[in-house]
Amino acid sequence: MKKINVGIIGLGTIGTGVYKILKERRASIKDKYNLDINIKKCCDISLSSKRKLKIKTDVFTKDFKEVVQAKDIDIVVELIGGTNIAYTISKEALKNKKHLVTANKALLAHKGKELRKISAVNKVNIGYEASVGGGIPIISSIKDSLLINKITSFCGILNGTCNYILTLMSNGIDFSKALGMAQKEGFAEADPTLDINGKDTAHKVSVLCQTCFNLNLDMKDIYTQGIKEVTSYDIEIAKNLGYEIKLLGISRIKKNKLDARVHPTLIPQNNPLSNVENEFNAVLVNSKNLGPFMAYGYGAGMLPTASAVVSDLIRVSRAGNLYETDKDEIKIDVIKFENIKSRFYIRMMIKDEPGNLGKVTSILGKYKINIDKAIQNNKNLKLKAIPVIIMTKSLELKVLNKAILAIKKNKLIQNESLVIPVEDFA
């Protein structure tokens, strides 16, 4: 039986989960995988987890160097997050010819290319199953099965916090109350900025682009729009039109151009992603031969994410020397967001004066924007402006933006308008 010595750096939520699973399932993992995974070192700057988990003093350290430099450690598990110390740790571990397992999407989004290079030179592996979709085995499904075929696109509900909030909002609860409830339930952090503004999802899109397309993107090439501007009114109207509103991370290659973006999206209710509720995540990957494949499960949480980390430990241990080869990078143009062609959902607050709706639609007409549906709702009588919903036919976003600017200049609307794409996955 192969014995693997593991060093865990970072004993926060996920680190604690990994420690627990490895202790609890050690015998079962021996039996099922013919592997003895031994926790050789644990590292954290605080002593609280050491006490809680009753970690022996000779196993615990506050100095990560004792882990990344230890001669008898085979795999370093980096679970501290962020892109500073985590970067140093990861680099050092790989340079010392230790496999790296990490759940750190920000690190991979910003430094994935460099770390893969170092891993290839040193003939060690990087396992990052836990960085996207929590416990869902999506990275290994892509790498071990889907990549046989040419992957053409993916889209996913990649942030449990946003999905939980949008699910509450679809029951009529407004954004700030929903956020508070999510925080209370442990589905949103005290500072939820990175989740709400879509950046966490964008990091995951970057990791998936590396995995699916062998492409390392600049974060600025991924258009990123969060969920703050979506109201429960939008969700209600969308529902009546046969759609759900989800925060999606989307990327596709079309005519040798890459489209990568994060934004709230209207998706048809018969799409399998539309049933993904609460804190769940799901990733849909399209490839030739295989067609659409979707994986669904808990996108966060201590034990699901820890389980993904442990699956990487097993994969990396069994894989022998299947290190990432240092492949030539693919060069590809990135489509700017304003150049995407799509159907759009628009919610404008039109000032409640006679003739204004006609003026708005005639400006849209001037820009040759075809309207599929227009809904005016006078229910909100307290407001000085009336929400008007317009569903367009397919057009370039740039044109729509120009039209909306013209409508603004004519002082026909109040506040910002919400403009989000409709994806039919056709």
Binding residues (CB under 8 A) for a copy of itself: these are 17, 21, 25, 28-29, 31-32, 34, 129, 135-137, 140-141, 144-150, 270-272, 274-277, 282, 288-298, 303-304, 306-308, 310-311, 314-315, 318-320, 322, 325, 327
Whole-number Å distance between alpha carbons of 134 and 136: 6
Q: Cβ atoms within 10 A of the Cβ of 144, count?
A: 11
To a copy of itself, the closest distance from the beta carbon of 278 in angstroms equals 10
Q: Closest separation between CB of residue 293 and a copy of itself, Å? A: 4
Contact 287, 153 (CB under 8 A): no
Q: How far is the CB of 284 from a copy of itself (least distance, A)?
A: 8
Contact 77, 313 (CB under 8 A): yes
Exactly one of 204, 341, 351, 409 is catalytic; which is it? 204
Nearer to a copy of itself (CB atom), residue 140 or residue 414: 140
Half-sphere exposure of 187 (CA within 13 A, CB side): 23
Alpha-carbon distance of 124 to 401, in angstroms, equals: 48
What would the two tokens of residue 168 be? 């509450």
Q: Using CA atoms, how far apart are residues 23 and 154, in angstroms rounded to an integer?
A: 36
Q: How far apart are CA 151 and CA 158, in angstroms?
A: 18
Cα separation, 199 vs 106, in Å, equals 9
Q: Return d(Cα 24, Cα 2) in angstroms, integer.
A: 19
The distance of closest approach from Cβ of residue 147 to a copy of itself in the complex, given in angstroms and rounded to an integer, is 6
Cα 265–267–347 angle (5° rounding)? 50
Give the shortest CB-385-to-a copy of itself separation in angstroms: 35
Q: Which long-range contacts (CB under 8 A, 24 or more apart) does 273-276 make?
A: 273/155, 273/156, 273/157, 273/246, 273/248, 274/243, 274/244, 274/246, 276/157, 276/163, 276/246
Name the minimum Å distance from CB 291 to a copy of itself.
5
- Indicate the burial class of 131 (C-beta count within 10 angstroms; 0-12, 13-18, 19 or more): buried
Q: Contact at 8 Å (CB) between 159 and 203?
A: no
Cβ proximity to a copy of itself, 165 vs 222, nearer residue? 165
Pairwise CA distance, residues 246 & 264, whole Å: 5
What is the distance between the alpha carbons of residues 41 and 55, in angstroms, rounded to a whole number? Answer: 9
Q: In whole angstroms, how close is the CB of 338 to a copy of itself at the nearest point?
A: 33
Phi and psi angles of residue 213, each rounded to the nearest 5 degrees, phi first:
-115, -5
d(CA 100, CA 6): 10
Task: Reply yes or no on whether 143 is catalytic.
Answer: no
- Active site (catalytic) residues: 204
